Amino acid sequence: MSYVLLTGGAGYIGSHTALALLRAGEQVISFDNYSNSSPESLKRVEQLTGKSIIKIEGDVLDVEALAAVFAQYPVKAVVHFAGLKAVGESTQKPLWYYETNVGGTIKLCQVMAKFGVKNLVFSSSATVYGDAQNSPLPETTPTVAMNPYGQSKLMTEWVLQDLQHSDNSWNIAVLRYFNPVGADESGRIGEDPNGIPNNLMPFITQVAVGKRAELQIFGNDYPTVDGTGVRDYIHVTDLAAGHVAALQHLFTDPGFDSFNLGSGEGLSVLDIVTRFAAVNQVEVPYQFAARRPGDVARYFADPSKAKTLLNWQTEKTLDDIVRDSWNWQKNNPNGYN
């Protein structure tokens, strides 16, 4: 019996990936310090699957705690989600972001090397394409970081690439997510942000449920179809399936590679708001506000490399996304609390 170790497994994407891996017949260990999650998400994954997860509370900066996991369990691969992800916060606390995101990955890889486990899937972000203007964006788009969060992802990508070049027994898949949204269709697990959401979908769901008065749409004068920003929204269940595919790829086509995980379709803020209200029959009051600094007009993936090499593509529709996002929010108005 061997395990897939998920760092940050209790988080939003980690918990959905745990669900997908268990359903694909894998054994799962989660290693999480619960700084932005709770073990409740994993308990619900266990209820949904009837299978158990080994849940370890620990910090990726704690090498001894990490080593104890590898010493106790035969791990065949690691999916490294654990990290900090708030762009604004990263500009206030850059050292914490670099220490956790870059330093945490280095420590993880050191422990993995010590135990001879050299298969790794890493959570990167489309933010590494900076303010690229030429969507759809293939993986060959020049990378540039716009803030410490983005820089920490880019630096980590470089570290991993250098590591694999130094020792080709490492197999590493870097996954660049576009905009993860939605929730498992059961409505039992989903995104549970702390405080005021920064991202569009959790803000919409909190407005719809009455927690917030109205949505501010940042900019209606972009050179887009309706003037609002265009993004590539990917259902978290599709994203989770992308991780299952990337893990398989490590074993069938070893080495280092990066993949965009996105739908390839750009949708505007108004597309999302309008469809959310229509499908769910709820009001989403909004008003237009100034552009948010750092935002680009249009940003979406060219996902053809993942389709060809991972045999993966998104399956869920916009209607699935808005229905499942709402299903999670209305069944869990206070998240996991």
Task: Give the one residue of 29, 102, 217, 239 binding ligand UD1; rule: CB under 6 A.
Answer: 217
- Angstrom distance (rounded) from CA 79 to CA 105: 11
- Angstrom distance (rounded) from CA 260 to CA 128: 11
- DSSP assignment of 273-320, as one string? HHHHHHHHT----EEEEPPPTT--SB--B--HHIIIII-------HHH
Sign, Cα dihedral of 19, 177, 155, 291: negative
Residue 100 engages ligand NAD in binding (rule: CB under 6 A): yes
Interface pattern 23-62 for ligand UD1 (x via CB under 6 A): ----------------------------------------
Interface pattern 253-272 for ligand UD1 (x via CB under 6 A): ----------------x---
Q: Are 101 and 153 in contact (CB under 8 A)?
A: yes
Residue 285 engages ligand UD1 in binding (rule: CB under 6 A): no
Which residues 6+ apart lie within 8 Å of 257 measured at CB?
172, 173, 174, 249, 309
Which residues 6+ apart lie within 8 Å of 182 measured at CB?
190, 201, 235, 236, 237, 316, 320, 321, 324, 325
Task: Give the one residue of 36, 90, 220, 332 binding ligand NAD; rule: CB under 6 A.
Answer: 36
- Angstrom distance (rounded) from CA 224 to CA 221: 8
Q: Is 149 a catalytic residue?
A: yes
Task: Give the one residue of 22, 82, 154, 246 binding ligand NAD; rule: CB under 6 A.
Answer: 82
CB of 165 to ligand NAD, least distance (A): 23
CB of 295 to ligand UD1, least distance (A): 5
Give the residue numbers marked as catalytic: 149
Binding residues for ligand UD1, rule: CB under 6 A, are 87, 125, 127, 150, 179, 198-200, 203, 215-218, 229, 231, 269, 292, 294-295
Binding residues for ligand NAD, rule: CB under 6 A, are 7-8, 10-14, 32-37, 59-61, 81-85, 100, 104, 123, 125, 177, 180
